[in-house]
């Protein structure tokens, strides 16, 4: 049986999907506003590699090589990566922008972890990862709402 854990956070943003997308898809600007995903190198194109750096609230840094699985303008970014070697701890990250009836956004920031190292990784970092997602969501909200 494969170990699996999902960390998902959401936030409502008073901005259009286009405004949220403009902030989220501008990965070169992450160091200026994003306290959790502090750097991304690469291109947001399906099949392209990305180097992603995470920094948790306890200043634990994680560098991850990923592959872009999906980009859908104004809707979704998804990538997959792994720590150390494929299969030990795989990570699939999802950013989802859902338009609400009033034109604002419900934003989903989610990561699914699979592999035999999931219990150890979650024991060490689950709370930090969850808090990091929430902090990123708040910063994204501020940045997108400024664009209005």
- CATH number at 45 reads 3.30.530.20
- Domain for residue 74, yes or no? yes
- Domain for residue 99, yes or no? yes
32 near 49, Cβ under 8 Å?
no
- Domain for residue 127, yes or no? no
Per-residue pLDDT of 78-122, as tens digits, reads: 999 987 778 888 999 999 999 999 999 999 999 999 999 898 877
Q: In the sheet where 4-13 sits, what is the strand order? A: 4-13, 105-114, 89-99, 76-83, 61-72, 49-55, 37-42
pLDDT value of residue 78? 98
5 near 126, Cβ under 8 Å?
yes
Domain count, the chain: 1
Per-residue pLDDT of 37-85, as tens digits, reads: 999 999 999 999 999 998 877 667 888 899 999 999 999 999 999 877 7
pLDDT at residue 129 greater than cutoff 80: yes
- Domain for residue 90, yes or no? yes
- Domain for residue 144, yes or no? no
Provide the sign of the torsion angle of the four alpha carbons 124, 117, 82, 106, taken in this order: negative
- Domain for residue 43, yes or no? yes
- Domain for residue 91, yes or no? yes
- Domain for residue 128, yes or no? no
Domain span at residue 55? 4-120+135-139
């Amino acid at each position: 049986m494969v170990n699996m854990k999902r960390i998902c956070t959401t936030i409502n943003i008073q901005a259009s999907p286009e405004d949220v997308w403009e902030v989220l898809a501008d990965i070169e600007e992450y160091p200026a506003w994003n306290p959790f995903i502090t750097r991304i190198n690469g291109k947001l194109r399906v099949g392209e590699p990305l180097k992603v750096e995470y920094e948790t609230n306890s200043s634990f840094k994680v560098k991850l090589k990923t592959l872009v699985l999906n980009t859908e303008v104004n809707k979704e970014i998804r990538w997959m990566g792994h720590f150390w070697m494929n299969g030990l701890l795989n990570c699939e990250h999802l950013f989802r922008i859902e338009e609400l009836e009033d034109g604002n956004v419900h934003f989903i920031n989610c990561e699914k972890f699979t592999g035999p190292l999931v219990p150890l990784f979650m024991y060490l970092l689950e709370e930090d990862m969850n808090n990091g997602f929430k902090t990123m969501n708040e910063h994204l909200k501020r940045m997108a709402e400024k664009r209005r």
